[in-house]
Structure formats: C-alpha cells, structure tokens
Amino acid sequence: MDEPDLVPLPRSVADGGGRLALDARTALDAGPGTERAAHWLRTALGAATGLPLPPAADGGVHGGDHGGGHGGVHGGAVVRLRVDEAVAAELGPEGYRLSVTGGGAEIRGGAAPGVFWGAQTLRQLLGPDAYRRAPLPGRGWSLPYVRVADAPRFAWRGFMLDTARHFTPRDGVLRWIDLLAAHKLNVLHLHLTDDQGWRLEIERFPRLTEVGAWRRRTRLGHRDSPLWDERPHGGFYTHDDVREIVAYAAERHITVVPEIDVPGHSQAAIAAYPELGNTDIHGGAADAAAPQVWDDWGVSPNVLAPTEAVLRFYEGVFEEVLELFPGEFVHIGGDECPRDQWRRSPAARARAAELGLDGVDALQAWFVRHFDRFLAERGRRLVGWDEILEGTAVEEGSPDGAAPRLSPGAVVSSWRGYAGGIAAARAGHDVVMCPEQQVYLDHRQDAGEDEPVPIGYVRTLRDVYAFDPVPPRLAGTGAAARVIGAQANLWTEVVEDQRRADYQAFPRLAAFAEVVWSEPGARDREGFEGFERRMTAHRARLDALGVAYRPPSGPYPWQRRPGIPGRPFQEPPPAV
C-alpha cells in the first residue's frame, strides 16, 4: 500500500500491508470519556457509509482492552475507542494512536480531544466518499492496515470568520465548524461586531440588533469602487443560535471565541445608541448627527466616548457574552481606533486629564485595561489585536514600569506582522500569530487578472504552507513557548456569500491546518511537493463536502467577478 494521503501530516505513519473490511456487522466499542467521538462516528460517518456501528455486544472481548479485535454483534470487526494515560504522557491530551490490523481498528487518545482527532484520521483513511451525507450505491468500506502516532504542534489552531461585514447565517457557521473539525482546527473566532454590523442579540440593549444589525446598502468591491449593491444587508444570532453553535462546536472539541470590538470599529453600536458616541462634537444633541450603520469599507472615525456610562453599557454587553460563551477567551478587538473625535471633543479631553492620562491618545489603552480587569475578575482572559500593547509596559521600547501592564492572562493576536507578538511573548504574554502578510485569507491567491475582487497581497498555497508561527527572533528562546498557536483570518468585505468564502479559504486553510498541527521536521521531510501530492486526494474530500475551493489552474468562470474592482497589486512588506 502507498502511504495514505493524510492532511494534516501526522507525526508518524507505518504501513501494515492489508485492509480491514467494515460492514453492517462492524461494532463500535466506546470506552469512558470517548462518548463525543462515538456520537460523531455514528452520525457523520454512519450517514456517509450507511453502517449502523452498534455498540459491541461483549465490549470487544476477543481483543481485550489492549488491541483491536473481533467481537461485534455478529462477529464483525470492532472499532475501539479508548482514553489512555500512557498516550497522554507521551503525546498530550490531543494526541492519539490509531492502529488498524486484521483484528480491528483502535484509537487511543490522551484525552477525549485526542480520540476525536483520531476519528478524523480514520475518516480520511476511508476515502472521499466518507465525507458525503448519504451512502452511494455499490460502495464497500475498508481501512488500510496502518499505525499512526500523532499530536498537534500548537494548542491554538484557529480560524477567524468575520460575520460583521457580510453575515454568515447560523447554518453556515455550523458548516464551518464541521470543516474546521475535518482539518483538526480547534478555535473558531467569530468577529461579531464592527462599523458595518452588530451580529449578536443583547437582550438588555435590543436596538443593537434592531438597528445595528442592518445596513441600507453595501459597496461592491474595494472601498475605491464606485459600485453599490442597493439591497439592505444584515442578520444576527439569537441567544439560542449561539447556544446551538457553542454546543455543536464543543461536541467537536472546538472553542468558540467571540469578538466584541471596543473602542473603535463601533459605528453600528453608535447608530443604535447614539449616546455611546462623542456627542459633544455634534453640538451636544445625542441624536443630532448619529451615524447610520456604515455601508462602506475601511476604518470609521466614529468611536466610543470615554465615559462611565459607556463602560457600564459594555459591561452589560459582556455579561451576556460571558453567559453565552463559556470558553476561557473573549476578544475585545482593541485595534484601529482613530483618535480624531477624542481630540475634537472637550469632554474626551477633560476625561483624559481627569484620569491622569498623557492626552487623549492614551484613552484607547484605558479602555483595553478596563475590560482586561473586568474579564480577569470573572475568570476569563482578554484577547486583543496587537494594538492592545500600545500604552502599556508591554509595548516595544517602553521602560518597565513606565506604563500600566496588561493582566498576566491577556493574549495578543499579532496581525500587523510578528513584532507585536514578539514583544508580548518576551513580556510573558501568550501570543496567537496571525500576520496579515501570511495568513489573511481574504487576500488574493494569485496575481492573475481572473482572481475575484483581488485585494491585499498575493498569498499562494505555497506561501501559506511556508508560514511559521514562531518567528526566527523567538526561535530557540524561552519566549517561543509563549506562541500558543496561530490563526488564519477571513475578513468578508469582498466575501459576500458561502461560495466566495470557500474560494478564499480553500485550499489555503488546509495548508494552514498542517502548519499549526504538524511538526516542522515531518513537514520538512515531505516538503511542499509532498503536500501538493496529498492535496490531490484531499481535494476529492473537499469535493465530497461541497467546498467550492480555488482550483489549482485558477478560478472557474463562475468564481470570477468581472467588473468588480479590487485593489491594485502590491508586494507585501516583510512580516517583521
């Protein structure tokens, strides 16, 4: 047998030289702690294969608890799932060992997540038809004899979906969760608020979605485009929608990280509640010049006012967010906050002086530190874009003690290159690397004229595969351990629907998944050419999943957007 074309690449794969047949007699023997993986196998894999996978009547006694064995309901093969402390000690909680022999198949995980990731590998071994939603006629099912030992390189293997610029309905988010699970990615970062829309129901502030979730029209293409889609656009997630999303993700060992932006990127909130803005620069009337939800792209000048009332408002927002999202991490944005309104506002200038700040520019860091403390007091950890370093002792070049510090648990998403992440890691903060020069999936995939609404830098599949979350300036130092992972970000200004999002994300997200899962040594042995070879099989899996990825030869005619202008091509600056 040829080595199976697995994506992401495991730490080790050994060919056993045969195949194990699966049929209606095949049973599933799920030990304690493997219930989620067993449920997923019976639902997703059962739907594709038509195999019922009933519980093993005798617990798989023919194979005991130390290896694969027969012992199904009518003597068929057994697929055995176990949590194993020895695997945990060797490979960690997300690590697993998968073995397929003539006696059966067995997945031993260091903990429940490891068993689940092993189940994803088992699905890949069954072939692309295992990714369909119903069995095809005449298909037989078998697994190659194989032994796999595997574990992820990073704990944070993330994907950010911007739902504020173009809304992704609930069922689309559930689909994304399945796609992340298939690639062993374990963090879904939902960008829920921005100038162009507020996407989360907040019961105590209903106008956030009554007004803030809808914009009157949308610019087509880059912000210099003269074209408009005159249809209103919007949508939001109810509390029950979020509960379903979070539960669905948890079943697949994926954490959902919500992002609520402060103090910039807030025009939709100010459109809903004008008193959140800097009203004194408009003659003092809260409603006199209240902006609408923004229908353009870029960075809006409308930012939150630095008042106690605004803090109380957003504390109320975050209290509901914490009830809905039980995960450890909450993202507050903290980026791209223009200070012009604060400079023009007598109230903002007076507030900065009252707080003892060195001018209004320091108000952004004041907002960040307030919600950093707010979240830490409630057992959560703030995540923010690398601008949260500004005005703190973590900022590069700031003498220790010269400025307030972020709490020890604050996490930096380093997007403007590596520099912010390097400074944060050296200061003892955890870092998620997501430099726009490397892993912004809304950026164009080729310099060709057929790319749909091309923006940003050219980042090919090879480029994404070459990304390393640990920059050379940290490699080999103690601070390198502070890089807890990386994240690929898909902003949606020019990504208007599911097919367009598929095109931008895939196949590059598969390359990214390998970057954050597979050890560099294993990847170096294969090289990009080995990855390309394995992608031939993986594209067939994406086809079965209905993913409208970018073909290697370039976009199909229906994937192009002729006449919708993007941004002129530019070479990316180095990701320093």
- Name the one residue in this structure whose structure tokens are 């029209």: 217
Active site residue 497: no
Catalytic residue chosen out of the listed positions 35, 129, 295, 336: 336
Q: Please report which residue ranges of 77-134 form alpha helices under DSSP H.
A: 85-91, 112-126
- The conformational region for residue 26 under phi > 0 = left, psi -120 to 50 = alpha, else beta, is beta
Active site residue 265: yes
Contact call for residues 458 and 446 (beta carbons, < 8 A): yes
Q: What are phi and psi of 223, to 5 degrees?
A: -65, -10
Catalytic residue chosen out of the listed positions 183, 222, 233, 265: 265
Q: How far apart are the first and last CA of the chain?
A: 44
Contact call for residues 365 and 391 (beta carbons, < 8 A): yes
3-state secondary structure of 411: strand
Q: What are phi and psi of 409, to 5 degrees?
A: -85, -5
- The conformational region for residue 321 under phi > 0 = left, psi -120 to 50 = alpha, else beta, is alpha
Catalytic residue chosen out of the listed positions 5, 194, 201, 386: 194
Output DSSP code: residue 41. Answer: I
Burial class (CB in 10 A: 0-12, 13-18, 19+), 239: middle
Active site residue 336: yes
Is the peptide bond preceding residue 113 cis, with omega within 30 degrees of 0? no
Residue from 462, 463, 409 nearest 436 by CA: 463
What span, in angstroms and rounded, lies between the C-alpha atoms of 349 and 339? 11
DSSP class per residue in 292-339: PSP-S-S--S-----SHHHHHHHHHHHHHHHHH--SSEEEEE------
What span, in angstroms and rounded, lies between the C-alpha atoms of 9 and 27? 28
User: Which residues carry out catalysis?
Assistant: 194, 265, 336
